[in-house]
Structure 1
Amino acid sequence: MRSCASDLACPPRRAKRARAGAAPEPPLSPSLTRYVLREMLKPFGFFILVFTGVIWLTQSLQVIDQVVETGQGAAVFLEFSALLLPFVMSIVLPIAAFGATLYAVNKLFSESEIVAMLASGMSMLALARPAAIFGAGVTAALFAVTLWLTPTAAQTLRDRLQELRGDIANALIFEGRFVHPSEGLTIYVRDNLASGEMRGVFVHDRRDPRAETTYAARRAVLGREEGGLRMVMFEGVAQRSETGAALSVLRFETLVFDLEQFMRDAAQRTPRPRERNVLELIAPTAEQLGGYSLGRFYAEGHEHLSGPLYALALPLVAVAALLSAGFSRRGYAARIFLAVGVGVALRLTGLAMRSATAAEPSLWPTMYAPPILGAAAALAILAHGGVRWRARRPAAAGAGAGGAA
C-alpha cells in the first residue's frame, strides 16, 4: 500500500479514485474564482509598471536623437514616448500575466489556501480556471493592442518624425544648435533676431558622397515662393569639395538655397510592415510590399495574431508547473525556475519561428505552434492530476513494504 507525506502529494491516486466511482470533484465556486482572480490582478499591475518602465526607457532612447537633432523640446519627446507605449505593451502584457500568475499561485500555496482547496476534493484543472479566465482577458486586450493600437501608433510616430525632419523652418528657430532636419543636411544658426533675420548661418550639404558643399553667411532670411521654401543668404562663401578635384571657393553677396527639396523627400516614404494593419500584412499587394519581402510581411502579420496567445499560454504553464507535483514542505523555488525556463523556451521558439517565416513565408503556421502546444500541454498535465516525481517512488515503495510487514 502506498503512503505519502500528504495526500496532496499523490495527485495520480486521487484521479484514480475519482474514476473508480467516487463522488465527482466539486468545481471551483464563483466566489473562489473571483478571489483567485483578485490575487492575480494585484501583482499584475505591479509587473506592468516595472516591465513597462524598463522596456519603455530602452525604446524611448531611439527617439531622443531625433528630438535633439531637430531642436524639439520635452513636450515633443513625451508625445513620441507615448506613441511607443502600444508596442511596449505588446511585449509587457504576456510577461506581466506570467509573472502575476506565478506570484499569486506561489502565495496561495505558501499560505496553504490551495492546499485546502485540493484537500476539499477540487481538481487541479478546476483550480486552473481563474488563470484561464485571467489569461483570456489579457489576450483580448492584447489583440486590441496588436491589431489596432500598435500599427496606428507606429504610423503616427513615423509621420511625425518625417514631419519634423521636413519642417526646416521650425528647426531653424533654435539658435546655437547644429540641427539635422534631413539626411545629409546640417544647419547652424548663431542668432535669430525678432525681425526674422538669422545671423551667423552655416549649412553643410553632404547628400552626394562624391561632392560636399559648405555655405557660411553673415546673415540670411527664409522666404516662401511658388516653388516652396527658400533660404536667402547674404555676404558669405561657398566651398565645394569633390573627389579627385581641388577645393573650389565661391564668395557671394546673395545666394538662394532651395530647402523645398528636403521637405519633398521627407514627405515621400513607403510605410514599413510594422505600420500596416494585419489584413495588409497577411494578404499584401505588390504595391503594398514596396520593396519589402513577402516573408517579412507574413512574419509581422502573424506575429500580431500569434503574439497575444502567449498571454493565455504562459499563465497556464505557470499553474501547471506549480500545481502539478502537489504540496511540498520544501518550497516551490525549483518549480518557479522550471516555469520560467519553459516560458522563456516557448517565447524564444516563437521568435525563431518568426525569423524562419521571414526567410520562408510558407512556414507561417509554425508561429502558432509554441503558444498552442504550450497551453495544451499544461491543460493535459492538470487534467491528469499532475505528475509524479520519481524521487518519491523509493520512499513510497519503502512505506508500502513496511505496511505489508
Structure 2
Amino acid sequence: MGKFDRYLLQQLLMLFGFFCLLLTLIFWVNRAVTLLDWLMGDGQSVATFFRLSLLSLPGVIVNLLPIAGFIAAVYATNRLSSESELVVVQAAGYSPYRMARPVIIYGLIVTAMVAMLAHVLEPLANREQEVRRVEISRDVTARLLTEGTFVHPVSGVTFYVREITPAGELIDVYLSNSRNADQRQSFTARRALIVEENNEPLLLMFDGAAQVYNLETKALAITRFESFAYGLGDWLQPADTPRWRTRTLTTAQLISRPADVLAQSQATPQEMVTEIHSRNNRAFMGLAASLLGFSALLVGGFSRFGLWRQIFLGVVIMVAIKSLDNSVAAMVERTPAKWPLLYLVNVIGVAASFGLLWLAAHPHLDLGRARRARAARMEAS
C-alpha cells in the first residue's frame, strides 16, 4: 500500500469514527426518549433504562454505519479537493480507478463492521432485550409501586400509592378502572398489600371504599369495606417465556440449527433464508455507500467554487439507493421468495460508482464542461 493509500485511508477512518459517533448519539437519544417514557410509565428504575438503551445500540449502529461511511467519504474527498491534493495526485499519474483503491479498502472495513453487527451482535442484543422485556412484564411490583406517582399499567387503569413502608405495606392507595364500557370503578384504601394466590396477583385493601358509577343510569354506588381483595390478573398477566425468533438468533445459529429454529420460532424456511440474506445486504451497503461518496466528487474535476454540485449529485444518488433499498426490503418481507432482489440495490450502487469513476477518467465526455468552454470562447471573441 502506497503513501497516498495509507494517507487517504487514515483520513477516511478518522472521519468515519467521528460521524459514526455523532449520528449514533443523535439517533440513540431519539430512541431513548421513547424507551424512557415506556419504562417510567411502568415504574422501572434508571438502571433498567440504561441497560435496555445500551442493548438497543447495535440495532441503531448497524443502520447508521453505511450512512456514516458515505458522509466520511464525501467529507474527506471534498477536503482533499479544496486543498488541491487531488489535483497533485492526478498530476502524478493516478487515475480515478487507482485513487479509489484505498476507498475500496475502507468500504470493505465498513462492510466487515456492519456484518459483525448484523450477523452476531444485533441478534444477541435483540435476544437479551426480549428477555429483559419479559422480566419487566412479570415484575408486578415495579409496574405498580412508585411512590407519589400516578401510573398506568394498561390503558384505562390508573394506580396511585402515597407511601410504601419498608415492610412492603402500601399507604393511601387509589385504583381506578375505566376499561368497562358500562361502568367506572374507583377504589381508595388507607392500607393495602400485593400478594399472590394461585399464581395470580391480588391487591388486598383495608379500611377503604369502592365507588361504582353506572354510565347508563348515571347512578353512583359507594361501598365502604374493612378489607377487600381485587384481582389484578386480568391486566397484569405475566408474559410467556420469550420464544425464538429469527431476528434474535445469530446467523451461525440459523445455519447450524435450522430444524430447532423452525420448530421454536414458527418461521418458514424461506423467511429464515431471507433473514440471512437481508443481513448480508446491509453489510454490502457499507461498500456501495463509501465508494459512491468518493466517486461522485471526482466528476467534473477541480473547481475554485467548490464541489457542491458533485456533493448534491452524490446525496441524490444515495437517497435514491436507500429509498430503493427500503422498498425492496418491504417487498421481500411480504414475499420472501424474492430475496435475490435484495442484492440488486447494492449492485446498482456499485455500478453507479464505477460509472462515475469512468466519467471522471474521461473528462472529454463532460458535456457540461464542453458547453462552458464554447460559451467562454464565444465571449472572448
- Short-chain TM bin: 0.7 to 0.9
1:255 corresponding residue in structure 2: 228
1:359 and 2:334 aligned = yes
1:78 and 2:58 aligned = no
Alpha-carbon shift at residue 259 of structure 1 (Å): 4.0
Alpha-carbon shift at residue 95 of structure 1 (Å): 1.0
Q: Aligned partner of 2:293: which letter?
A: A
Distance 1:337 1:329 in 2: 17
Aligned CA distance change for structure 1 residues 239 and 287 (closer, same or farther; 3 Å): farther
Alignment check: 8 A CA contact 1:163 1:267 kept: no
Percent of aligned pairs sharing the same letter: 32
1:317 and 2:292 aligned = yes
Aligned CA distance change for structure 1 residues 244 and 286 (closer, same or farther; 3 Å): farther
Q: How does 1:192-207 map to 2 (within 5 A)?
A: 192-206=164-178
1:390 and 2:362 aligned = no
Alpha-carbon shift at residue 391 of structure 1 (Å): 2.5
2:147 to 170, 175, 178: 175
Alignment check: 8 A CA contact 1:66 1:161 kept: no
Unaligned runs of 5+ in 2: none
1:369 and 2:338 aligned = no
1:160 corresponding residue in structure 2: 132
1:345 corresponding residue in structure 2: 320
Aligned with 2:152: secondary structure?
Answer: strand
Q: Aligned partner of 2:366: which letter?
A: W
1:220 corresponding residue in structure 2: 192
Aligned with 1:180: secondary structure?
Answer: coil
Alpha-carbon shift at residue 60 of structure 1 (Å): 1.1
Alpha-carbon shift at residue 138 of structure 1 (Å): 1.0
Q: How does 1:2-401 map to 2 (within 5 A)?
A: 29-182=1-154, 185-206=157-178, 213-225=185-197, 227=199, 229-240=201-212, 244=216, 249-259=222-232, 264-267=237-240, 274-277=247-250, 285=262, 288-289=265-266, 302-382=277-357, 385-386=361-362, 388-394=365-371
How many residue pairs get matched? 369
Alignment check: 8 A CA contact 1:175 1:188 kept: yes
Distance 1:202 1:253 in 2: 15
Distance 2:19 2:340 in 1: 31
Alpha-carbon shift at residue 57 of structure 1 (Å): 1.4
Q: Aligned partner of 1:390: which letter?
A: L
Alpha-carbon shift at residue 326 of structure 1 (Å): 2.9
Alignment check: 8 A CA contact 1:325 1:386 kept: no
Aligned with 2:94: secondary structure?
Answer: coil
Alpha-carbon shift at residue 369 of structure 1 (Å): 1.1
Distance 1:383 1:57 in 2: 41
Alpha-carbon shift at residue 184 of structure 1 (Å): 5.3
Distance 1:181 1:138 in 2: 42
Aligned CA distance change for structure 1 residues 288 and 195 (closer, same or farther; 3 Å): closer
Alpha-carbon shift at residue 113 of structure 1 (Å): 1.6
Q: Aligned partner of 2:288: which letter?
A: A
Alignment check: 8 A CA contact 2:246 2:265 kept: no
Q: Aligned partner of 1:258: which letter?
A: G
Distance 1:203 1:296 in 2: 45
Distance 1:45 1:306 in 2: 22
Aligned with 1:179: secondary structure?
Answer: coil
Alignment check: 8 A CA contact 2:115 2:279 kept: yes
Alpha-carbon shift at residue 73 of structure 1 (Å): 3.5
1:63-122 deviation line (CA, Å, top 9, x unaligned): 111221122343322222212211110122111111111111111122222212211112
Distance 1:340 1:274 in 2: 30
Higher relative CO (CA 8 A, sep ≥ 6), structure 1 or 2? 1
Alpha-carbon shift at residue 332 of structure 1 (Å): 1.1
Q: Aligned partner of 1:234: which letter?
A: F
Alpha-carbon shift at residue 34 of structure 1 (Å): 1.1
Scaled by the length of structure 1, the TM-score of the pair is 0.79
Alpha-carbon shift at residue 219 of structure 1 (Å): 0.8
Distance 1:71 1:37 in 2: 48
Aligned CA distance change for structure 1 residues 375 and 72 (closer, same or farther; 3 Å): same
Unaligned runs of 5+ in 1: 1-28, 401-405
Q: Aligned partner of 1:88: which letter?
A: V
1:349-390 deviation line (CA, Å, top 9, x unaligned): 100111222333333222221112211331244257255310
Alignment check: 8 A CA contact 2:244 2:264 kept: no
Distance 1:358 1:372 in 2: 20
Scaled by the length of structure 2, the TM-score of the pair is 0.84
Aligned CA distance change for structure 1 residues 398 and 80 (closer, same or farther; 3 Å): closer
Aligned CA distance change for structure 1 residues 368 and 248 (closer, same or farther; 3 Å): farther
Distance 1:254 1:78 in 2: 40
